[in-house]
Chain A
Amino acid sequence: NAGVTQTPKFQVLKTGQSMTLQCAQDMNHNSMYWYRQDPGMGLRLIYYSASEGTTDKGEVPNGYNVSRLNKREFSLRLESAAPSQTSVYFCASKPAGFTDTQYFGPGTRLTVL
């Protein structure tokens, strides 16, 4: 039982390049989330998926797209990376039911030059 996994752990991109961050969970959770964390800002929600087949914008969706490929996987795509997207990206999942506990992956540290 690996929990929430993310790949890659580190990535350096040049401005304008594209890439996809992968996230998978093996806990059979319904909801999945993508956050970014910047110094002094806390975690900010980029997109979330309440259940398989649905996705919704969070607080800072511009410049990103997501795909909920199946119940396990939720990917985040940067179509044209910008230096402002340099950040640590965390994926999280949450089970169904009356709980707010989110389980986070180890994060992806992205630098855009």
Chain B
Amino acid sequence: RKEVEQDPGPFNVPEGATVAFNCTYSNSASQSFFWYRQDCRKEPKLLMSVYSSGNEDGRFTAQLNRASQYISLLIRDSKLSDSATYLCVVRGTGGFKTIFGAGTRLFVKA
């Protein structure tokens, strides 16, 4: 089993739709959680951190469920510019062990 698993998609949604991605992690001792965004043939960039209480940044909402060991990303009112791959990132204990998921591809169409 992979340490961090994501549905690869692709998710194809119309503009204005709400879309949600989940990501599961296997190490219950994981400490920090993030969503990164990666555009085609570009480098990953931090989208948002995921806090235990959940957090929101504009149209984006991230949630953490430690009991079930998953994190989620909700995108409301999707824009064409949201088309990208979304990487789930989990940092465990012991310093620098950061695990990237393989990513979920999102296509937003007009």
Count of chain B residues with a beta carbon within 8 Å of a chain A beta carbon: 21
Q: Is the CB of A102 within 8 A of B4?
A: no
Kindly identify which residue among B34, B43, B100 contacts A100, using a CB–CB cutoff of 8 Å. Answer: B34
Bin the interface of chain A by size.
20 to 34
Q: Does B69 interact with chain A (Cβ within 8 Å)?
A: no
Given the known interface contacts A48-B96, A56-B96, the answer about A42 and B101 at a Cβ–Cβ threshold of 8 Å is yes
B16 to chain A minimum Cβ distance, whole angstroms, is 30
Binary A-proximity of B41-73 (CB < 8 A = 1, otherwise 0): 111111001000000000000000000000000
Q: Tell me whether chain B's interface is mostly helix, strand or loop, or mixed.
A: strand
Q: Tell me whether chain A's interface is mostly helix, strand or loop, or mixed.
A: strand
Given the known interface contacts A105-B43, A107-B43, the answer about A100 and B102 at a Cβ–Cβ threshold of 8 Å is no
Q: Is the CB of B96 within 8 A of A106?
A: no
Q: Which of B43, B95, B99, B102 has the most CB of A within 10 A?
A: B43
Binary B-proximity of A81-109 (CB < 8 A = 1, otherwise 0): 00000000010000000001110111100
